[in-house]
Protein backbone atom coordinates (compact mmCIF):
# COMPACT_ATOMS: atom_id res chain seq x y z
CA UNK A 1 0.00 0.00 0.00
CA UNK A 2 1.49 3.40 -0.97
CA UNK A 3 1.92 5.89 1.86
CA UNK A 4 1.43 9.64 2.22
CA UNK A 5 2.43 11.51 5.35
CA UNK A 6 1.58 14.96 6.66
CA UNK A 7 4.43 16.48 8.65
CA UNK A 8 3.14 19.16 11.00
CA UNK A 9 -0.21 17.40 11.17
CA UNK A 10 -1.45 19.16 14.32
CA UNK A 11 -1.24 22.70 12.86
CA UNK A 12 -3.90 24.66 10.97
CA UNK A 13 -2.47 23.88 7.54
CA UNK A 14 -1.53 20.32 8.48
CA UNK A 15 -5.09 19.53 9.44
CA UNK A 16 -6.35 21.02 6.15
CA UNK A 17 -3.83 18.87 4.29
CA UNK A 18 -5.22 15.78 5.99
CA UNK A 19 -8.76 16.79 5.04
CA UNK A 20 -7.74 17.26 1.41
CA UNK A 21 -5.95 13.90 1.31
CA UNK A 22 -8.98 12.15 2.83
CA UNK A 23 -11.28 13.64 0.18
CA UNK A 24 -8.95 13.00 -2.76
CA UNK A 25 -10.01 9.97 -4.85
CA UNK A 26 -6.38 9.47 -5.78
CA UNK A 27 -5.33 8.82 -2.18
CA UNK A 28 -8.39 6.83 -1.15
CA UNK A 29 -6.43 3.57 -0.87
CA UNK A 30 -3.21 5.11 0.46
CA UNK A 31 -2.04 4.81 4.04
CA UNK A 32 -2.12 8.23 5.72
CA UNK A 33 0.47 8.98 8.39
CA UNK A 34 0.25 11.96 10.75
CA UNK A 35 3.65 13.31 11.82
CA UNK A 36 4.38 16.04 14.34
CA UNK A 37 6.97 17.00 16.93
CA UNK A 38 7.96 14.72 19.78
CA UNK A 39 5.75 16.64 22.21
CA UNK A 40 2.70 15.73 20.11
CA UNK A 41 3.65 12.05 19.68
CA UNK A 42 0.89 9.68 20.69
CA UNK A 43 -1.88 12.28 20.43
CA UNK A 44 -4.90 11.47 18.31
CA UNK A 45 -6.20 13.71 15.54
CA UNK A 46 -9.88 13.32 14.74
CA UNK A 47 -10.91 14.61 11.32
CA UNK A 48 -14.42 13.68 10.23
CA UNK A 49 -14.63 9.91 10.70
CA UNK A 50 -10.88 9.37 10.73
CA UNK A 51 -8.72 9.08 13.83
CA UNK A 52 -4.97 9.31 13.27
CA UNK A 53 -2.35 8.68 15.91
CA UNK A 54 0.53 11.15 15.70
CA UNK A 55 4.03 9.74 15.27
CA UNK A 56 7.41 11.44 15.63
CA UNK A 57 9.49 12.57 12.64
CA UNK A 58 11.87 9.67 13.19
CA UNK A 59 8.97 7.22 13.13
CA UNK A 60 7.57 8.99 10.07
CA UNK A 61 10.84 8.57 8.18
CA UNK A 62 10.95 4.89 9.11
CA UNK A 63 7.57 4.47 7.40
CA UNK A 64 9.26 5.51 4.11
CA UNK A 65 6.28 7.46 2.70
CA UNK A 66 6.03 7.85 -1.07
CA UNK A 67 4.91 11.47 -0.55
CA UNK A 68 5.47 13.71 2.47
CA UNK A 69 3.45 16.93 2.75
CA UNK A 70 5.29 19.36 5.01
CA UNK A 71 3.80 22.18 7.06
CA UNK A 72 6.22 22.16 9.96
CA UNK A 73 8.02 25.49 9.54
CA UNK A 74 11.21 26.47 7.77
CA UNK A 75 13.67 25.24 10.39
CA UNK A 76 12.13 21.77 10.56
CA UNK A 77 11.84 21.56 6.77
CA UNK A 78 15.49 22.41 6.30
CA UNK A 79 16.46 19.52 8.54
CA UNK A 80 13.80 16.90 7.88
CA UNK A 81 12.85 17.35 4.21
CA UNK A 82 16.10 15.84 2.85
CA UNK A 83 15.67 12.83 5.16
CA UNK A 84 12.11 12.16 3.96
CA UNK A 85 13.24 12.82 0.37
CA UNK A 86 15.54 9.79 0.55
CA UNK A 87 12.40 7.64 0.33
CA UNK A 88 9.96 9.69 -1.75
CA UNK A 89 8.74 13.11 -2.78
CA UNK A 90 8.56 16.03 -0.34
CA UNK A 91 6.13 18.93 -0.92
CA UNK A 92 7.11 21.66 1.50
CA UNK A 93 4.85 24.53 2.51
CA UNK A 94 7.53 26.54 4.32
CA UNK A 95 9.67 29.29 2.85
CA UNK A 96 12.90 27.32 3.28
CA UNK A 97 13.29 25.75 -0.18
CA UNK A 98 11.37 28.18 -2.40
CA UNK A 99 14.23 30.17 -3.86
CA UNK A 100 16.77 27.38 -4.29
CA UNK A 101 17.36 27.44 -8.08
CA UNK A 102 17.15 23.66 -8.39
CA UNK A 103 13.91 23.35 -6.37
CA UNK A 104 10.65 23.70 -8.35
CA UNK A 105 8.25 26.30 -6.93
CA UNK A 106 4.92 25.03 -8.16
CA UNK A 107 1.35 26.14 -8.73
CA UNK A 108 0.11 23.11 -10.72
CA UNK A 109 -2.19 25.07 -13.05
CA UNK A 110 0.79 27.21 -14.10
CA UNK A 111 4.05 25.27 -14.02
CA UNK A 112 3.51 21.59 -13.21
CA UNK A 113 5.73 20.94 -16.24
CA UNK A 114 8.75 21.82 -14.08
CA UNK A 115 8.27 18.57 -12.12
CA UNK A 116 10.22 15.46 -13.11
CA UNK A 117 10.54 11.93 -11.68
CA UNK A 118 13.94 12.90 -10.27
CA UNK A 119 12.52 15.89 -8.39
CA UNK A 120 12.57 15.01 -4.70
CA UNK A 121 11.84 18.29 -2.90
CA UNK A 122 9.11 20.57 -4.26
CA UNK A 123 8.30 23.97 -2.77
CA UNK A 124 4.76 25.19 -2.18
CA UNK A 125 4.66 28.98 -2.71
CA UNK A 126 3.56 31.60 -0.20
CA UNK A 127 -0.22 31.81 0.17
CA UNK A 128 -0.47 35.38 -1.11
CA UNK A 129 1.76 34.59 -4.08
CA UNK A 130 -0.31 31.56 -5.11
CA UNK A 131 -3.60 33.41 -5.43
CA UNK A 132 -2.06 36.37 -7.23
CA UNK A 133 -0.05 34.43 -9.81
CA UNK A 134 -2.89 32.03 -10.52
CA UNK A 135 -5.19 34.93 -11.34
CA UNK A 136 -2.50 36.65 -13.43
CA UNK A 137 -1.01 33.63 -15.21
CA UNK A 138 -3.33 33.59 -18.21
CA UNK A 139 -3.13 37.37 -18.57
CA UNK A 140 0.66 37.18 -18.53
CA UNK A 141 0.73 34.58 -21.30
CA UNK A 142 -1.56 36.69 -23.49
CA UNK A 143 -0.59 40.27 -22.64
CA UNK A 144 2.84 40.12 -20.99
CA UNK A 145 3.14 41.60 -17.51
CA UNK A 146 5.50 44.56 -17.16
CA UNK A 147 4.84 45.63 -13.56
CA UNK A 148 2.74 44.58 -10.54
CA UNK A 149 1.82 46.76 -7.57
CA UNK A 150 0.11 44.69 -4.89
CA UNK A 151 -1.25 45.44 -1.43
CA UNK A 152 -2.36 42.41 0.57
CA UNK A 153 -4.91 42.26 3.36
CA UNK A 154 -4.02 39.04 5.15
CA UNK A 155 -6.12 37.23 7.74
CA UNK A 156 -4.84 36.10 11.12
CA UNK A 157 -4.92 32.44 10.09
CA UNK A 158 -1.79 33.28 8.11
CA UNK A 159 -0.07 33.45 11.50
CA UNK A 160 -1.41 30.07 12.58
CA UNK A 161 -3.22 29.31 15.79
CA UNK A 162 -1.23 32.03 17.54
CA UNK A 163 -2.79 34.73 15.36
CA UNK A 164 -6.31 33.39 15.89
CA UNK A 165 -5.74 33.22 19.66
CA UNK A 166 -4.65 36.86 19.80
CA UNK A 167 -7.65 38.10 17.82
CA UNK A 168 -10.14 36.03 19.84
CA UNK A 169 -8.65 37.11 23.17
CA UNK A 170 -8.72 40.78 22.19
CA UNK A 171 -12.32 40.45 20.99
CA UNK A 172 -13.20 39.30 24.52
CA UNK A 173 -11.18 42.08 26.14
CA UNK A 174 -8.66 39.63 27.53
CA UNK A 175 -4.94 40.17 27.86
CA UNK A 176 -2.70 38.26 25.47
CA UNK A 177 0.41 36.41 26.53
CA UNK A 178 3.03 35.92 23.82
CA UNK A 179 1.00 37.66 21.08
CA UNK A 180 1.50 36.96 17.38
CA UNK A 181 1.77 40.66 16.53
CA UNK A 182 3.58 43.67 18.05
CA UNK A 183 0.27 45.60 18.26
CA UNK A 184 -3.39 44.75 18.89
CA UNK A 185 -5.09 43.25 15.84
CA UNK A 186 -8.72 43.58 16.99
CA UNK A 187 -10.31 46.65 15.35
CA UNK A 188 -6.95 47.32 13.78
CA UNK A 189 -4.74 46.55 10.83
CA UNK A 190 -0.96 46.21 10.93
CA UNK A 191 1.26 47.01 7.90
CA UNK A 192 3.76 44.38 8.92
CA UNK A 193 4.06 40.77 7.73
CA UNK A 194 7.13 38.70 8.53
CA UNK A 195 10.26 40.59 9.57
CA UNK A 196 11.73 43.84 8.31
CA UNK A 197 14.69 43.79 5.93
CA UNK A 198 17.40 46.36 5.33
CA UNK A 199 15.56 47.72 2.28
CA UNK A 200 12.57 48.68 4.44
CA UNK A 201 10.35 45.93 3.04
CA UNK A 202 9.26 42.89 5.02
CA UNK A 203 10.10 39.27 4.29
CA UNK A 204 6.46 38.63 3.31
CA UNK A 205 6.58 41.48 0.80
CA UNK A 206 9.78 40.23 -0.83
CA UNK A 207 8.31 36.74 -1.15
CA UNK A 208 5.72 38.24 -3.50
CA UNK A 209 8.53 39.75 -5.56
CA UNK A 210 10.85 36.77 -5.91
CA UNK A 211 8.27 33.97 -5.99
CA UNK A 212 6.14 35.67 -8.65
CA UNK A 213 9.11 35.90 -11.00
CA UNK A 214 10.15 32.29 -10.41
CA UNK A 215 6.67 30.80 -10.89
CA UNK A 216 5.86 32.84 -14.01
CA UNK A 217 9.37 32.24 -15.34
CA UNK A 218 10.10 35.91 -16.02
CA UNK A 219 12.73 37.79 -14.02
CA UNK A 220 11.94 41.01 -15.88
CA UNK A 221 8.56 41.45 -14.16
CA UNK A 222 8.76 44.42 -11.79
CA UNK A 223 6.93 43.76 -8.52
CA UNK A 224 6.42 45.97 -5.48
CA UNK A 225 4.32 44.90 -2.50
CA UNK A 226 2.83 46.08 0.78
CA UNK A 227 1.60 43.44 3.23
CA UNK A 228 -1.09 44.30 5.78
CA UNK A 229 -2.46 42.04 8.52
CA UNK A 230 -6.19 42.59 9.14
CA UNK A 231 -8.69 41.46 11.78
CA UNK A 232 -10.20 38.74 9.59
CA UNK A 233 -10.11 35.09 10.66
CA UNK A 234 -9.88 33.44 7.25
CA UNK A 235 -9.02 34.44 3.69
CA UNK A 236 -6.45 36.77 2.16
CA UNK A 237 -7.40 39.68 -0.10
CA UNK A 238 -5.25 41.62 -2.55
CA UNK A 239 -5.55 44.89 -4.44
CA UNK A 240 -3.49 44.31 -7.57
CA UNK A 241 -2.48 46.91 -10.17
CA UNK A 242 -0.93 45.35 -13.29
CA UNK A 243 0.77 47.07 -16.20
CA UNK A 244 0.97 44.98 -19.38
CA UNK A 245 3.20 45.15 -22.43
CA UNK A 246 0.18 44.87 -24.72
CA UNK A 247 -3.15 46.65 -24.59
CA UNK A 248 -6.40 44.87 -23.83
CA UNK A 249 -10.16 45.19 -23.62
CA UNK A 250 -12.00 44.42 -20.41
CA UNK A 251 -14.01 41.79 -22.28
CA UNK A 252 -10.75 40.09 -23.27
CA UNK A 253 -9.49 40.19 -19.68
CA UNK A 254 -12.67 38.67 -18.28
CA UNK A 255 -12.64 35.92 -20.90
CA UNK A 256 -9.05 35.03 -20.03
CA UNK A 257 -9.82 34.97 -16.32
CA UNK A 258 -12.89 32.78 -16.81
CA UNK A 259 -10.80 30.33 -18.83
CA UNK A 260 -8.06 30.15 -16.19
CA UNK A 261 -8.39 26.86 -14.24
CA UNK A 262 -8.99 27.45 -10.55
CA UNK A 263 -10.16 31.05 -11.02
CA UNK A 264 -13.73 32.28 -10.62
CA UNK A 265 -14.84 35.75 -11.68
CA UNK A 266 -17.19 37.57 -9.28
CA UNK A 267 -17.66 40.99 -10.80
CA UNK A 268 -21.03 42.70 -11.01
CA UNK A 269 -20.88 46.11 -9.31
CA UNK A 270 -24.57 46.75 -9.99
CA UNK A 271 -25.41 43.79 -7.77
CA UNK A 272 -22.65 44.55 -5.24
CA UNK A 273 -20.98 41.32 -6.36
CA UNK A 274 -17.27 41.11 -5.67
CA UNK A 275 -14.95 38.71 -3.82
CA UNK A 276 -14.75 38.84 -0.03
CA UNK A 277 -12.90 36.62 2.45
CA UNK A 278 -16.22 35.74 4.10
CA UNK A 279 -17.31 34.21 0.78
CA UNK A 280 -13.98 32.59 -0.11
CA UNK A 281 -13.42 30.86 3.24
CA UNK A 282 -13.67 27.10 2.88
CA UNK A 283 -13.45 27.16 -0.92
CA UNK A 284 -10.56 26.09 -3.17
CA UNK A 285 -10.98 28.68 -5.91
CA UNK A 286 -9.27 32.03 -6.38
CA UNK A 287 -11.91 34.74 -6.79
CA UNK A 288 -11.39 37.87 -8.90
CA UNK A 289 -13.51 41.01 -9.10
CA UNK A 290 -13.47 44.84 -9.20
CA UNK A 291 -12.00 44.43 -12.69
CA UNK A 292 -11.36 47.85 -14.21
CA UNK A 293 -8.86 49.87 -16.18
CA UNK A 294 -6.41 52.11 -14.40
CA UNK A 295 -7.44 55.39 -15.98
CA UNK A 296 -4.21 57.07 -14.88
CA UNK A 297 -1.89 54.86 -16.94
CA UNK A 298 -1.97 53.05 -20.28
CA UNK A 299 -2.27 49.25 -20.56
CA UNK A 300 -2.88 48.95 -16.82
CA UNK A 301 -5.54 46.99 -14.95
CA UNK A 302 -6.91 46.93 -11.39
CA UNK A 303 -8.06 43.65 -9.83
CA UNK A 304 -9.29 42.50 -6.42
CA UNK A 305 -8.20 38.92 -5.68
CA UNK A 306 -9.41 36.82 -2.74
CA UNK A 307 -8.74 33.22 -1.68
CA UNK A 308 -8.74 30.98 1.38
CA UNK A 309 -5.11 31.11 2.46
CA UNK A 310 -5.27 27.75 4.25
CA UNK A 311 -6.69 25.97 1.19
CA UNK A 312 -5.51 27.08 -2.28
CA UNK A 313 -2.92 29.19 -0.49
CA UNK A 314 -1.45 26.14 1.23
CA UNK A 315 -3.11 22.73 1.69
CA UNK A 316 -5.06 22.47 -1.57
CA UNK A 317 -2.10 23.53 -3.70
CA UNK A 318 0.18 21.01 -1.96
CA UNK A 319 -2.26 18.14 -2.44
CA UNK A 320 -2.78 19.14 -6.09
CA UNK A 321 0.98 18.83 -6.57
CA UNK A 322 0.87 15.38 -4.96
CA UNK A 323 -2.01 14.34 -7.23
CA UNK A 324 -0.02 15.50 -10.26
CA UNK A 325 2.93 13.32 -9.22
CA UNK A 326 0.66 10.28 -9.12
CA UNK A 327 -1.22 11.11 -12.33
CA UNK A 328 2.10 11.62 -14.14
CA UNK A 329 3.22 8.12 -13.21
CA UNK A 330 6.12 9.34 -11.08
CA UNK A 331 5.03 6.99 -8.29
CA UNK A 332 4.49 3.36 -9.18
Shared domain for 64 and 151, answered yes or no, is: no
Looking at the fold, whether 104 and 241 belong to one and the same domain comes out as no
Same domain, 203 and 118: no
Residue 190, pLDDT score: 98
Compute the distance between CA of residue 201 and CA of residue 255 in angstroms, rounded to an integer. 35
- Tell me what pLDDT residue 282 has: 97
Question: Is the residue at 85 inside a domain?
Answer: yes
Q: How far apart are CA 208 and CA 152, in angstroms?
A: 10
CATH number at residue 109: 3.40.50.720
Q: Does the annotation count 236 as an active-site position?
A: yes
- Residue 317 has phi, psi (to 5 degrees) of -60, -40
Catalytic residue among 183, 210, 236, 324: 236
Task: Tell me the pTM.
Answer: 0.97
Walk along the chain (332 residues) in steps of 10 and give the mean pLDDT of each run: 97 98 97 96 93 98 98 97 98 98 98 97 98 98 98 97 97 95 98 98 98 98 98 97 98 98 97 97 98 98 98 98 98 83
Rounded to 5°, the CA angle 222-226-227 comes to 130
**Overall domain count for the chain:** 2
pLDDT value of residue 332: 74
Residue 160: the pLDDT is: 95
Length of the chain: 332
CA distance 285 to 313: 10
According to the model, what pLDDT value does residue 291 have?
98
| Domain membership flag for residue 332 | no
Is position 30 within any domain? yes
* CA R_g for the chain: 20
What CATH number is associated with residue 259? Answer: 3.30.360.10
Q: Which domain holds residue 140?
A: 128-309
Catalytic residue among 127, 140, 183, 192: 127
Q: How far is CA 127 from CA 32, 212, 236, in A?
A: 24, 12, 8
Same domain as 30, residue 98:
yes
Could you give the CA distance from residue 298 to residue 173 in angstroms, rounded to a whole number? 49
Amino acid sequence: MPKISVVGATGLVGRRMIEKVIHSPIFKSWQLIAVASERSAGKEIRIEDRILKVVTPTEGIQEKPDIALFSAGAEASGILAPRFAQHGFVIDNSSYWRLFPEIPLVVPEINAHTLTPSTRIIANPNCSTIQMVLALSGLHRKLGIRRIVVSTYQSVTGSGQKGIAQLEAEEKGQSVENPAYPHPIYRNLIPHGGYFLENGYTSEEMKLVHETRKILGDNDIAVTATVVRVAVKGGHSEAVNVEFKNDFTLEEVITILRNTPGVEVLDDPRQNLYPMPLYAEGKDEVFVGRIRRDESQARTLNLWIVSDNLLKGAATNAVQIAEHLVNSGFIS
